[in-house]
Amino acid sequence: MTQLSDMTQIFGIYSYKSPLIQFRAEDHRNWKHRELTVKKDYLARAYITKLDEELFAERPIFTPNIFQQIETNATPDLEIETSEYDVSYEWDLEKWDSLMKKMSDSGRTHSFCVIQLYNKAPWWRVFTWREITKIEYDKNDNPIGCTVQWDKKLVGANKWRFHEENLQFYRENRLNNDGTALLVPFGVSSGDDLGEYDLEQIWDLLIYLRYQLLDIANNSAKSSGFYHYKWASGTKESTIQTVLDAADVVGSGSGIGASEDALVEIKSIFPQHPEFTVLALETSLKLFAGACRLPLVYFRSEKDVGSGFMGGQVESADEMKVTKKKKYIFSEFAGAIKKLVEMRWGIQIEDVVPYIQAEIDLQELEIDVNEENEENKEMVKEDKKNG
């Protein structure tokens, strides 16, 4: 197999490829590829990580209320039932906001995750395919536990420590339930089954967009073209490297000279009709946004679509799409959130909704009012017309 270094010496290749393309991270069935995509692909990261960050930017609203006070500056009309419970200190100490985000990121990326609760710091860990080595089942094929392994690098030292745990899953229908781990599925109604990861339906589009961006970067945005160096027959490797070094120094704004026995010709090659790739990228991006059930503006500029109102920067219809998408994602984890609170504090939760539920109610109210105003305007026009 030809090595890249050998090709560089012969042809003088100068190119950059994203690690996702360079290492062909394109198999949606491979958990490593999914994790790398969420980390490196800006569209996948916006769809998974950024959306979850906005979703859990505020604490969920529980019934009964488990927090003594909840900030309601953004939604002053929101009524929250007072409660005898107050786990605000523990919630912040144990970083449950981070737990909610990690649970959603992991569950949406891998179709499930396992959350282990502890009685001391670090208080919780979230495990996925990276750490899970074995899942155990009962005679009815229901998952009852798993074995996890992970390494931890010590701070300030070039040392690693290996850890292994056998986890027992929490199950409501089991007597004397001593399970401290919870299996959290995504995309299914039953906690015993695994669903689809949230990237599966858009995976192909992510790949298409990735290669379209590469084509634009190489042929249009990166430069107006490239140079093809033709070496003379029998040119020494040292001479080739000298010519390449000289070309690298002078760049595209100056010339380079070499004898015929070293360099026969430098030919400029320019892209033909790169606008077609740009149009294809725009079309693919629209398809991607539609498949995600999110407005196109969310992926063009994430800051325009926050978790609240943005002063008219985005149309209300686009805001509704984002908030409803967040509501759907939250609904997939609502059952797990209620169970985790019960496992940690022994509180029976009747209902839990995302903080953005209040924003959805206000947005729908605003739309209804606007539609009613438009209807009234039409009636006034009709009355004037009829005299």
Q: Across the 387 residues of the chain, what is the mean pLDDT of every consecutive 10-residue run? A: 53 64 87 94 95 94 83 50 81 97 96 95 95 93 92 82 93 71 82 75 93 75 66 83 80 70 76 77 92 91 45 64 91 94 94 79 58 56 59
At 153, which helix (H) or strand (E)? strand 143-153
The CA distance from 102 to 105, in Å, is: 5
Query: Which one, of 39, 74, 184, lies nearest residue 125 by Cα?
Result: 184
pTM above 0.85, yes or no: no
Handedness of CA 120, 174, 145, 353 (dihedral sign): negative
pLDDT of residue 306: 44
Query: Which one, of 342, 326, 299, 339, lies nearest residue 185 by Cα?
Result: 339
